[in-house]
Structure 1
Amino acid sequence: MAEVAAGALVAEQIVATGVEVGAAVAVAAPTQPLKVSLKQLARATSEDTTRALARSNHTITTIGNKVYIFGGEDIDGKLCNSDVHAILLPSKDNTGAEKLHDHYPAFPLIDAKTGETYIPAPRTKHAACAWGNSVVIHGGCDEHGNPIEEDNCLWLWDTEHMKWTKLQGQTQLGVKLAPRYGHHIFVDDKQEFLILHGGHTSTSGGSQPETETWLYSFDRNAWTTLPKSPSPPLAAVYTDNTLYTISASPDAPNLSGTINYLDLLKSTTDREKPGALVWQSITYPINPLTPGPRPRFGGALVPITTGYGRSYLIYMFGISSDAVGESNEALLEEEKYYADIWSLQLPSHGYTAAAAKDVIRDKLMPKGIESGKFSWAEAELVATEQKAELEEGKVHPGPRGLLAASGCLEGKGVVLWGGVNPKGEKEADGWVLGLAFGYADSDRFE
């Protein structure tokens, strides 16, 4: 009802102010495709640092104007140590005196009472997210490829005090949160909970991830189960109280994909009502007439906003879902790696310009002009100048998978780091994807 009211209000204002022509142009202006630019982050000058930052199956987490790198596999295929690396992100607030790279060695903190060491073991294919000023780490696998047994533990890296602590959550009676890797975690800062989804366990078998969804309450220090997703996730993201996943369609993975989403609602009371949490699914085609991204793993799925209430999911890079479970040698084929960038327009909400525009397009405009929610479009890449100290001649990351990505630029950008290219080489560079022309540009309006 809020969206309808907002649309009615805007329609009334259009008539009352006599700007019918300008308003019609604004409403009819397309919301897709996005125009984006790619800028390479300054590379490390030390060969040792470059080698240390070359990795795959790691995580990066944005807190403030820095991105924190943890875990993964190095250029020799061995586990990276438990050190934390911080990379300075471009910002108008930077003075130029800040270090571009900080390295925090893993010094163990021993509990005087229990003798327990507070430092996470080296790991790969783990999950990470931000909670306040802390990086949260969960799960992963060891050097043998086995899930790390930590009894529902969450590791917290305090970026202000530069030390590790951990939270040991409890689960419901008779329900076990199995150790896993290749999963996803997200924190809802307003509601103070963490969402865990998917992943591989020692009992799952095969190449398909689990469909489990868990909620961890920081207040209760407890894990509870949520409804399972309809299909195994290849990628997942949480934004605006909603968990989104992308899966390959089981019957025709090369012809269609599936978007699953679960609204987590705005309070514990709402979530605990019978039947309140229900997964919804949308299947999208993949063909020249209706473009869409091919399902992939090891890529990036990150929310982004252009402002005015308009939000998208950026889905980029990665490895063909056909290659799930293949050996490292079998993955050394160029056609299995993607270098494309796609955006999925999300539904608008509330009393925003985007919501008003969408109501008008859906309800009042001629047939063929719809809001565009849940529509895909390949992003338009706008060229930018690169500084001389960056890798010469490189204006695009190139095809890669098993990279790490995180939101940045106050929700208007995506930062990515590392990954592996079709030659099997670990990458040691970082890139920032941003909205071109600052939004809105001369031919776009929200």
Structure 2
Amino acid sequence: MRTTVFNFELRVIACQVCGAPVEVGEAGGAKACSYCGSSQEPAARAQAVARSAAMPEPERLDRLRSQLGKPTRVPQPLADLFVGFRLLPWKVSEALGRWRRLLADAQRDPEVEGALERLTRALASHFGQEGDPMRERALLQAALEAVRTPRHRQSLLAALSRAACRVGDAAAAESWLRMCDPTSSNLEIDSVYRATRALVATYGQQHEEVLQVLGAGGEAPISDEYQVPCAVLLGNALERLGRVDEAVAVLDRGQSSSLARHRAREFVAEYSGIELCPMSGPAALARQAERGAALSSRAAGRPLIMLVFTLAVLAAGGITAAVLGATSTLGGTLMAGGITGLLVGALAPITVIEFLRSGRARRLRRSGRPEIATVVHARYGGQETMGVPQLLYKLMVFPAGRSPFYANSALHADKPTRERLARGAVVVVRMDPERLGDVLLELD
């Protein structure tokens, strides 16, 4: 059996001065930090989340479903540290400073527990991906011992369980998960348990258990934050059980927006130790790419409309010239032909440009690299097609592993699209890998 830094028998907290991991005893007591020398005096180890009162399962599920539809957001005081749910890498030092202040404040002010829990999970994920699992554990356990609200304790315990999964410590993952409440009637508390239970079962190749936890068709009510991870885990379980078509359908539904697909990609990468959805994942993405390419093409330009209009002008001019040739003078025929030629000459370049725009949009949607961005502002592009204005969006793009940069993306935006792409909105763009400034807003 593999033992890791997430071993449940250990107790590791983060130093309240420098943030370094400090191993302490179950009963607490004074312990010096080996990095900065400051004295730590933690209390006795916190206990499991209290179990919810028993109630009939149908009633519990009804209560959970009644709480659906509430979006999850980063607490406003932390918003400048994040883009979406991603902690900005260059903000880590500042985030650690805020985390230490929140940790101290949580001892006397339960109102800060939500911000502490969210920032802790983000920082822990950062250090986990940077290959520092001891720092990851120390942050999670220190915050766990500072909060008292069941929802936040459940979230941090589940995060420890998932972290143990990621490093292959199945025993620790189960031990941390046993500290959670498995039958809560609070949607957020229940969802974090279901998602983590499904992940632990996935690592143990217990795919039937994943279906029991989430429902074969995804019937279990899941909060906004965990819907995408649960869809990926359910799709993987169905695929491993030989039900690939059902898996593709689940992933197609669960990743039906650009942000959902981006979250799914991040989740699969985070748990790359197990190959999630190796067949159904690409199949669902290919299905969505074709739909998205068609939508992006229409939003980028209207080449078919321009082509039809140009051909109509050409046909009308030809008919007029023929009629004049049969009934009037040569001068009238030449004038009609000349006017037609001028109109076609003006329309043809526009038609070519529209085809080029449309082709570029299809190419980027199919093969561009997806990245997170935010909308800085939008301005009128000076064109309308069938009453739909073309807008030029200025974006701040946050490519993984690179510095952020500004980019522009033009599209025909109807009213719902304009509302969705309001200033400050978090979006996904498709970026040309060879021309970083060439981006396309992913609309589907």
Return the TM-score normalized by structure 1: 0.28
Q: Which has the higher contact order (CA 8 A, sep 6+)?
A: 1
Structure with the higher fraction of residues in strand conformation = 1
Q: Which has the higher helix share?
A: 2
Computing the radius of gyration from Cα coordinates, the structure with the larger value is 2
What's the TM-score, normalizing by structure 2? 0.28
